[in-house]
Structure 1
Amino acid sequence: MSKRSFWPTGMKVRVHPLFLLLLLASIGAGMIVETLVLFTIVIVHELGHIFVATSYGYRIREMQILPYGGVAKLEHGAMGWNPRHEVAIAIAGPLNNLLMILVAVLLHAAGWWSDGLTQFFIKGNLMIGFFNLLPALPLDGGRILRAATSGTRGFRAATEVAVRMSFGIALVLILFGLLSLWAGYVNLAFLMLGSFLLFSAWELRKGMRVDVIRFLDAKRRGKKSSAQDVRQLAVPESMRVGEVIEQFAPDAYHMIYVLDERKKVQTVLEEEDLVSVVFEENGMHWTLRQVLERTGKGNDKRLSKL
């Protein structure tokens, strides 16, 4: 891992409006100390992500402070293209919450922190840590879920699963918040977090096509210096390129066995054959038969060598 400065050069810090609303509500309720404690927890949680990301050599474009934690936005949106990195970066935030709980226990044992402050600090860390581990993007748990499933499902399909989980969890949180209000318990946290997660999932769904293009561009430009796992896909020649590349996974090289109408292997396309087509005009809509015709690989005899 390359060495980077602790605070990334050029990184912008942006505070989400919901976090500002939460701060104002807390201050209005006379909870200034509690507000500062929560703000500290959020910052330290996010710094865990940033420290691990920069240690891997990623450049951080922006850190956004959210009610439940934060989001470190990498340059060129590289997150998700290396599952091992994504897991390590995602888990760093909740691990920082555990470390803060340990520090709070030690400070309390030393007599430096009061019972009330220690209990609030621990509860705040548990709330932010556990919420972030929910399996929904853009939460840490959603990134871990995507990394764990992208090797078998492909990058886009794994992202789709995590986004669907986001919609489901958001609706549950909103429903729980409404039921609480109906029962007479005024707790806007569930409504705020559910609304934010719902909005985030909607934005992720809209930008999924762009993310896939960036993922494929990284595959096209990337230079691998070590061996890769090979994933083999057998697909009919009538299938469109866009449908095939949706199954492409990070950290793997793909060999595509093209089947004719009799389900016999006609030829083998390599990963770069399809990735290059994606960047042609309407390339996503080409069928594999069109790819074979344009590349002249329809009568490829490489099968005899495999």
Structure 2
Amino acid sequence: MRSVMWPGMKWKVHPLFVVLMAMSAWTPYFGQMLLLFATVLLHELGHVGAALLFGYRVKDITILPFGGVARLEHGSLGWQPRHEAIIALAGPFINFVLLFLVIFLSGIGSLSDSVSSFLIQINLSLAFFNLLPALPLDGGRILRAALARTLGFRKATGVAIGMAFILSAVLLITGLLALWAGFVQAGMVTLGVFLFVSAWQLRRQLYYDTIRFLDTKRRQRNKRPLPVRSLAATADTPLIRVLAQFAPDAYHVVYIRGGQDHHLRILTEEELLEAAMKPGGIRLPLGRIFAE
């Protein structure tokens, strides 16, 4: 993975992009690859600009042949659904701005038909592909942001990862069927493999991402009013099952029923999060937490 520091953040270029650039260096398509790289770079700068406007610090950005992935400091993207949705939309928004700019420049004769046609094609492709509702694409982040308040961070992330597996299967099957029929669709197969591998990696780290989300929620003391989400569980319910339903931008209160004295007990968000951060605490039943 090639990387460079600028400015205050690390920029990485995915090996697949490096290979494609190298393969095109001695072909007539090298100019198109440079235009693709510039378009992807501007797409990512849209995400960076939106993130900086919200006060986030960007840790690193990975440039892919069909988009990119920006990671924020402390992995905080996703903790605030409204911010995540706007930051995700900023990339495709840049592509649509570029699209109209290309059409305008082509109309006044400043761009050749071949260049304008290629730029229109890649901007439309980048915008619509990245808006597919699957993580790690922009559309997957928008989907997670839309679902997180009702399903919780972990479940919403799981849905967006599941969509990535479904879409990767559709792309792979369609690409292979096209190949069998005599039409070469290497791009579709490549995108399918990329989505599948990315979804697999995200699913493997979902547990750790959830822990980081909960730890951030524990350390932050939100001063603005928040909606209260009430959950009900039994005394023998493992804490991890309750925490899986914790949502961003909400304060949680859990009602415990079915204890030995049959009284209804209440655990607050702070009590649950503090218990979760203790060794082995995340596996404890709620009744044990209350007893402690």
Scaled to the shorter chain, the TM-score interval is: over 0.9
How far 1:286 moved relative to its partner?
Answer: 0.3
1:220 is aligned to 218
Q: Secondary structure at the match of 2:28?
A: coil
Call closer, same or farther: CA 1:199–1:102 in 2, change over 3 Å. Answer: same
After the TM superposition, which residues 141-290 of structure 1 pair with which residues of structure 2 at under 5 Å, given as runs? 141-260=139-258, 266-290=264-288
Secondary structure of 2:253's partner? strand
Aligned to 1:34: 32
Give the aligned partner of residue 4 of structure 1. Answer: none
Question: Are 1:135 and 2:126 an aligned pair?
Answer: no
Residue 300 of structure 1 is matched in structure 2 by none
Per-residue CA shift, 1:112-147, capped at 9, x if unaligned? Answer: 001221111111000010000000000000000000
Give the structure 2 partner of residue 80 of structure 1.
78
Counterpart Cα distance in 1 of 2:268 and 2:125 = 47
Distance 1:233 1:103 in 2: 50
How many angstroms apart in 2 are the aligned matches of 1:163 and 1:209? Answer: 13
Helix, strand or coil: the match of 1:172? helix
Residue identity over aligned pairs, in percent, reads 46
| Alignment correspondent of 2:48 | 50
In 2, are the aligned partners of 1:8 and 1:60 still within 8 Å (CA)? no
Q: Which amino acid is 1:41 matched to? A: T
Following the alignment from structure 2 to structure 1, what is the Cα–Cα distance between the partners of residues 188 and 263?
Answer: 53
Segments of 5+ residues of structure 1 without an aligned counterpart are 1-6, 295-306
Q: What CA distance in whole angstroms lies between the structure 2 residues aligned with 1:154 and 1:8?
A: 35
User: Larger deviation: 191-200 or 246-255?
Assistant: 191-200
TM-score of the pair, normalised by structure 1: 0.90
Asked if the contact 1:277–1:284 (Cα under 8 Å) also holds between the matched residues in 2, the reply is yes
The number of aligned residues is 288
Contact 2:85 2:141 in 1 (8 A): yes
1:52-90 alpha-carbon deviations (Å, 9 max, x no partner): 001111111111001211111111100000000000100
Q: Residue 69 of structure 2 aligns with which residue?
A: 71
Residue 29 (structure 1) shift: 4.6
Offset at 1:261? 6.2
Aligned counterparts of 2:179 and 2:139: Cα–Cα separation in 1: 28
Alpha-carbon distance in structure 2 between the residues aligned to 1:8 and 1:153: 37
Deviation of 1:16 after TM superposition, in Å, equals: 0.7
Q: Residues 61 and 73 of structure 1 are in contact (CA less than 8 Å); yes or no, is this contact kept in structure 2? A: yes
Change (3 A) 1:60 1:8: farther
Do the aligned partners of 1:12 and 1:63 also contact (CA within 8 Å) in 2?
yes
Q: Secondary structure at the match of 1:226?
A: coil
Asked if 1 retains the 8 angstrom alpha-carbon contact of 2:259 and 2:287, the reply is: no
- The answer to whether residue 117 in structure 2 is matched with residue 119 in structure 1 is yes
